[in-house]
Structure 1
Amino acid sequence: MEFDLSWILLGFPLAFVLGWLASRFDARQMRAESRSAPKAYFKGLNFLLNEQQDKAIDAFIEAVQNDPDTSELHFALGNLFRRRGEYNRAVRVHEHLLSRGDLSRPDRDRAQHALALDFLKAGLLDRAEDALRRLEGTSFEAEARLALLAIYERSRDWKQASDIAHRMQTARQGDFSVRLAHYLCEGADVLAATGKLEEAVAQYQQALVLAPSAGRPQVDLARLQHRLGHSEQAWSTLQGMAEKSPGALPLAAALLPELAQVLGDAQIRPWLEAQYERLPSLDLLQALVALDAAHPGAPGRERYVAHLDKEPSLVAATRWLADEPFAQEQHHPALQRALEHASKPLTRYRCAACGFEARQHFWHCPGCQSWDSYPARRVEEL
């Protein structure tokens, strides 16, 4: 059988035409896909700028489907899910990014940080801790350490918090001496509550060495020294506090009448009067009135009236009126109750960071977790 070369001559042009058509089809498809991805991206961006997050997410999902290798779209999508509180979907997006073998090192670190934020926002602190620890040695190291510090403070793991704060201080990422002093005080509070009073004193003193101008170690140390019967030491601690951190003295004012009963009134009263003249406050005023109660010739309740010349105070007026005789005494109890009801909110403490109010003073705000955000003065005095 003879082979006909004419078929070969006819086949070459046919193959060329088919190949050309196939390449044209692929090129058109690629151009269509490349046009659709930016179009979906810009559509999503437009929705995002107009605060239409649902439509923006739909547009970004469409763009990711058209071009699954676009990491920036994944990051945008994951951040949108996190902002909406859809933490499971955000975690899936960022875990998908981390599973990709072609992801660059900076993008991998970024995805790891985003995943840690997902866990943190979702309240999964153990998983967030693990994700944050993997960021050591990356460009997100400082942010990760701050987040870890917040986790340990929230869980009251003061040892771990101290370790992180020491590392950040060593790396010159800020001055954490006051915060480290707070951690020592927290540990000392636990020791004192379990009866280990001498160990607690040593820890307060260590905190005072670390942050000499911090108010908390001095206030807590003076209270514990007096509790142990070391009233002279407590008095010395308060005198030092008046020099180094006078603003915190009102927090220890209630201790002064107790010290006066042990050490005598002669040295404490003049000193307290001088501190009150230097920085008038309701707590120092109340301590002076309490000292006067044991001395008939002392000003006593008249100090409330004198305080009104310095500062208008409903609290001071209410306390003065409590024992003041009225012309119509039958109305006195009702009037006193009304005044006390009105003045009671003014005796609270208020966080300067978040505005959270409480009847007791906090060194660590239970609302916003800020340290030293509660002034030592009452709401009325702010």
Structure 2
Amino acid sequence: MLGWLFFLLPVAALSGWIMARRHYKRRYRPQESSFSPDYFKGLNYLLNEQPDKAIDVFIGLLEVNSETVETHLALANLFRRRGESDRAIRIHQNLIARPSLSAQQRRQALVELGLDYMSAGVLDRAEVLFLELLQQPGTPPEAPKQLLRIYQQEKKWQQAIDMAKQIPANNKTNTRALIAQFYCELAESLLEKDQHQALNLLRSAHHYDADCVRASLLEGRILIKMRQYRKAVRVLQHVEKQNHYFLPEALPLLYTCFDNTNNLDDFKDWLESLLTRHHHLTSARLMLTRLVEQKQGTEAAQRFLYRQLHQHPSVEGLHQLIMLGEDNHQALIPLIKEVTTTLIHKGDRYTCKNCGFSGRTMHWLCPGCSQWATIRPIEIHLSALEKLLEPSR
């Protein structure tokens, strides 16, 4: 019996070794690649700059394996970023035509196809696609955002308003401020046709954004045309509370109002109080100089502005002082006048606080970053002379 036991021990050991080896092979043997050789063929076409052939290969693979949808989306996005929108459109159209796509995958492909159309400048087709997505359950948030972009580009302001109301406000997109700008666009289009309707639109703008300076400036202009100067004064003076950086835009309008009501003394008092709150507001200082000149004469205006410039120097102030005394110092004054005139005309009058874009005319929609109401007036103080005097590149 003991002999049989010694005989069976090696057999048991060998059997255990064989079983362990089989288990190891099953567990650790290399997995078969899920990639078809055609994938590598398609990649080779891409590397050899033959994108059309690569697209044919990838589209053909989709019919075999629907799990490659993400790969096709990524490929199409690559083409779109390279500016090859036609190829991106082709891939996305073929994706959408596949009945094997899930509802979520199809919605994603439709969004991407809409972006392709927008990249290609075919806004009408993009609009149709995104409107279709709005009617479907589980609308992707990209659909109303892109429709808003389309309506802004096409200047369809009422449709832009309706679409913006469907987008919830967040830290990145203040939709209420956008809606106010769209109402201002509608109001501007009616300034000469229907001033009462324009005022109603501006009230809507204020409803959505109480700090909309543009709406206040437009309302002030309309009220001046309607000779309602006292109402215009209240509206335009409110600009200080909304954003005092825009007061240079309001001051000429306020002068018109006070002048037409023979009330320039009250305007002078208000300007003086304004400068106690905003010491560096050059435009208010120059407006005061104008009032002093009208009431007390040129020499009084010179003395006033001279004192002001000692405390708050600025290019505009220096230029105005020279203009007031241009009959004196016949040789020197024309030269200095020419220098300050050049500086004032060379300097940009408006700048965007978001992207830094600057220019000489006011834009409510920044051409640099496409953001609304980020551009504001600037004044040229003497500290900026060094930059202005740099040679243009």
For the superposition of Structure 1 and Structure 2, which TM-score range results when normalised by the shorter chain?
0.7 to 0.9
Q: Measured at CA, do residues 110 and 138 of structure 1 come closer, stay the same or move farther in structure 2, by a change above 3 Å?
A: farther
Q: Measured at CA, do residues 72 and 210 of structure 1 come closer, stay the same or move farther in structure 2, by a change above 3 Å?
A: closer
Query: CA-to-partner distance for each residue in 1:281-325, whole Å, 9 max, x for gaps?
Result: 233233222322311168534454445445442232223223435
Separation of aligned partners in 2, 1:347 and 1:309? 24
- Comparing 33-42 with 74-83, which one deviates more in the overlay? 33-42
Q: How many residues align?
A: 345
Separation of aligned partners in 2, 1:178 and 1:365? 14
Separation of aligned partners in 2, 1:203 and 1:226? 17
Separation of aligned partners in 1, 2:113 and 2:361? 38
Residue in 2 aligned with 1:286? 286
Separation of aligned partners in 2, 1:105 and 1:257? 62
TM-score by length of 1: 0.78
Residue in 1 aligned with 2:256? 258
- Comparing 182-191 with 83-92, which one deviates more in the overlay? 182-191
Quote the RMSD (CA, aligned, Å).
3.5
Separation of aligned partners in 2, 1:203 and 1:314? 39
- Comparing 271-280 with 116-125, which one deviates more in the overlay? 271-280
Residue in 1 aligned with 2:371? 370
Residue in 2 aligned with 1:144? 143
Residue in 2 aligned with 1:104? 102
Separation of aligned partners in 1, 2:50 and 2:355? 32
Alpha carbons 1:36, 1:63 under 8 Å: kept: no
Aligned match for 1:215, one of 206, 213, 236: 213
Q: Secondary structure at the match of 1:103?
A: coil
Alpha carbons 1:250, 1:376 under 8 Å: kept: yes
Q: How does 1:66-81 map to 2 (within 5 A)?
A: 67-68=61-62, 69=65, 70-81=68-79
1:270 matched to 2:269? The reply is: yes
Residue in 2 aligned with 1:238? 236
Query: CA-to-partner distance for each residue in 1:147-187, whole Å, 9 max, x for gaps?
Result: 11121112111110111112224999964222222222221
Q: How does 1:98-177 map to 2 (within 5 A)?
A: 98-136=96-134, 137=136, 141-169=140-168, 175-177=174-176
Query: CA-to-partner distance for each residue in 1:2-23, whole Å, 9 max, x for gaps?
Result: xxxxxxxxxxxxxxxxxxxxxx
Separation of aligned partners in 1, 2:219 and 2:259? 19
- Comparing 100-109 with 205-214, which one deviates more in the overlay? 205-214
Q: Measured at CA, do residues 67 and 306 of structure 1 come closer, stay the same or move farther in structure 2, by a change above 3 Å?
A: farther
What is the letter of the counterpart of residue 159 of structure 1?
Q
Give how far 1:35 is off.
Answer: 5.8
1:187 matched to 2:186? The reply is: yes
Separation of aligned partners in 1, 2:52 and 2:376? 48
What is the letter of the counterpart of residue 67 of structure 1?
L
Give how far 1:57 is off.
Answer: 5.5
1:64 matched to 2:62? The reply is: no
Alpha carbons 2:177, 2:212 under 8 Å: kept: yes
TM-score by length of 2: 0.76
Q: Measured at CA, do residues 306 and 149 of structure 1 come closer, stay the same or move farther in structure 2, by a change above 3 Å?
A: farther
Separation of aligned partners in 1, 2:345 and 2:148? 36
Query: CA-to-partner distance for each residue in 1:72-102, whole Å, 9 max, x for gaps?
Result: 2211221111111111111111101111111
Alpha carbons 2:348, 2:359 under 8 Å: kept: no
Identity over aligned pairs, percent:
26
Separation of aligned partners in 2, 1:207 and 1:65? 49
